[in-house]
Amino acid sequence: MGCKYSKFVGACCCNLQYNGSVLEAPDNDEKGEADDLPKFQEYSFEQLRLATSGFSVDNIVSEHGEKAPNVVYKGKLENHRRVAVKRFNRMAWPDSRQFMEEAKAVGQLRNHRLANLLGCCCEGDERLLVAEFMPNDTLAKHLFHWESLPMKWAMRLRVVLHLAQALEYCTSKGRALYHDLNAYRIVFDDEGNPRLSCFGMMKNSRDGKSYSTNLAFTPPEYLRTGRVTPESVIYSFGTLLLDLLSGKHIPPSHALDLIRDRNLQMLTDSCLEGQFSDNDGTELVRLASRCLQYEPRERPNPKSLVTALTPLQKETEVPSHVLMGIPYGATFTPLSPLAEACSRMDLTAVHEILENTGYKDDEGIANELSFQMWTNQMQDTLNSKKKGDVAYRHKEFKAAIECYTQFLEAATMVSPTVCARRSVCYLLSDMPQEALSDAAQAQVISPVWPTASYLQAAAFFALGMENEAQVALKEGSALEAKKIAASSK
């Protein structure tokens, strides 16, 4: 049986039948391979624990938070590559071989429309996936929970085209299935371009459900069989078209009622008024209607989606980060004297600022160190730190490095400020790689400390790694902004 609104839907879709005479969109495979990414690899649990600062709650980036069965963390590997780490529930994949096979298969995909899978971890009961980190939130955040400006029509069209291209690529590589495609699965990269998260290529567990518990958005055939098919993915694509058109998460049945009654004004986001023509809106509604057909065989395939969406694109010369209002490149507004000094590579000022700050940023560690002064075995170690501080104050950087090294090698508790001070000493001694290592270590100890990010930026500048330095500056700025906001409450 066809869709109960098949008469209207059929009329809507009459212009969306494709044949060989239609100009095809460029082959996504030809220009889409992400050749600059490393090959898929296996990581140890210890590597990922360190990368996420011990799976710190401060590094959780998934919307469902730490109580979700599978949690996503941001992290930074030893080579300073930023990653997203998905940690599964311990009982999610009891068969380690099946997990590895699935992960390796997904890990062969490499495309600029995907947040690609870089590796995995399978140790004991632990099952983790490692993917490219996308710093600019999810489509759900930008579409449903925006704070300043709603997403522009041109950007919404770009999102669905990029998503269709991602699905076309995956289908061409034999990976047509995607589990629970929704607005949380679309993420934005450094340049503000939308990408499809690779995490949805795998189920949340070996035997787990492929869709969320909200049955209103579930493909009808999945309710009958419990199986995901390529056509099920297209149905979910249709629900995303409705999300982007309406700015709300409208159940497909309700949307089809509005379409049947030709009440498109109720279906359209009021924030988009004046941004698109009636024809453009009608075309998107027609495409959504085809994707939401009751019978799976009546839905379009990814290639025809790309063909339909390509001519609808607007403002194609405008970069995504501009359409999204996302800072990009060298755009950086220092919030503090330290941030400004690191951005200018004014190491004399950096040294002076950290000297004046003292150990106030250690957040309790300094107090524990002062308590340890009462124990004899710690006295010599703490004397090394004191000598290092004196040498630091007098700009005797070689001596400070030596004393701080003695302290760090012997201490039972590591101070992030000692790491930071030694990092500055290394910078002033023309040892940027060692400085970067210390700044990164300070961030591991204290993930939300802006100083650690700023010093990493200075080290990256010294190494000639301009892009990485700008990213570190922006990360420090974001942490500092959060700290200022928290203190003002």
Tell the residue number behind the tokens 């057909």, with chain if given. Answer: 293
Structure tokens at 448: 């939300």
- Our answer to whether residue 180 is catalytic in this structure is yes
The encoded tokens of residue 427 equal: 């910078």
| DSSP sequence for 13-61 | HGGG---TTSPPPPPHHHHH--TTSPPPEE--HHHHHHHTTTT-GGGB-
Please give the C-alpha separations between residue 14 and each of 215, 288, 304, 326, in angstroms, as whole numbers: 29, 13, 14, 39
Cβ proximity of 214 and 183 under 8 Å = no
- In the numeric block, the tokens 């839907």 are attached to 9
- End-to-end, the C-alpha distance of the chain in Å comes to 58
Task: Decide: residue 188, CB within 10 A, 0-12 exposed, 13-18 middle, 19+ buried.
Answer: buried
d(CA 454, CA 471): 10
Closest CA to 190 of 107, 130, 115, 80: 115
What span, in angstroms and rounded, lies between the C-alpha atoms of 286 and 17? 11
Helix then strand count (H, E) for the chain reads 22, 8
CB 291 within 8 A of CB 300: yes
Bridging pattern class, strands 194-197 and 186-188: antiparallel
Residue of 138, 146, 132, 149 whose CA lies nearest to 322: 149
Contact 460, 469 (CB under 8 A): yes
Rounded CA-CA distance 116/98 in Å is 20
* Backbone φ/ψ region at 111: left (φ over 0), alpha (ψ -120 to 50), beta: beta
Catalytic residue, chosen from 27, 125, 180, 346, is: 180
Residues labelled as active-site residues: 180
